Chain A
Amino acid sequence: DGGITQSPKYLFRKEGQNVTLSCEQNLNHDAMYWYRQDPGQGLRLIYYSQIVNDFQKGDIAEGYSVSREKKESFPLTVTSAQKNPTAFYLCASREEGRYSPLHFGNGTRLTVT
């Protein structure tokens, strides 16, 4: 079945450590996205990529980094510079075009203590 796989589902880290969240899709979508969700704040865009080897900052990119070496993969690194990293992280993809919806993975819940 086609879909988006995020791993791990839960992740615990100590403050000051970098951590990488995995996102893989087999939908053959060109565009991939990372969102962060905090209670009561909806979805906020961190980074997105419309093509391999290219990506753009979203609204809250500070403290995060990404890479897009393969069409299927778009990993997100949460660095120690991110001040409030505890959140629910969602990876998504879509076909190009204004009328295409986003398809989401199951999310990774990151807790940093």
Chain B
Amino acid sequence: QKEVEQNSGPLSVPEGAIASLNCTYSDRGSQSFFWYRQYSGKSPELIMSIYSNGDKEDGRFTAQLNKASQYVSLLIRDSQPSDSATYLCAVNPLTGTASKLTFGTGTRLQVTL
């Protein structure tokens, strides 16, 4: 089982709709979770971080964390064509050094006109 799993997609949503991206992780003791957006050919940029169970909202983005079920999700409201990118989930596991984030392989999102 991979440490961090994401559906590779592509996930296709129409402009204005809600995009829902999911991520599961294997280390039950993981304490911090991050979502990065990566445009083709560019480096990842941080869009959300979450540490506690529940929802965290920032503009059109909402991160949701459920530690009991070991999943974290990202909702993008009012999706725009500029949201089309690959979204990477990163987890800071409890095991091993605190310095190592583990990344999923990413979900490619396509927002259609």
Contacts and interface: CB of A to CB of B under 8 A. Distances in A.
Interface string B52-76: 0000000000000000000000000
Interface in B32-67: 32, 34, 41-46, 49, 51
Contacts of B112: none
Interface residues of B, number: 24
Interface stretch (A14-22, A60-68, A72-80, A99-107): A99-107
Given A90-B43, A105-B43, A99 B101 contact: no
Name A's interface SS.
loop
Interface stretch (B12-20, B77-85, B103-111): B103-111
B49 to A, nearest CB: 6
B51 A103 contact: no
B88 A43 contact: yes
Contact of A98 (B8, B98, B104): B98
Q: Could you say which interface size class chain A belongs to?
A: 20 to 34
A104 B44 contact: yes
A97 B90 CA distance: 15
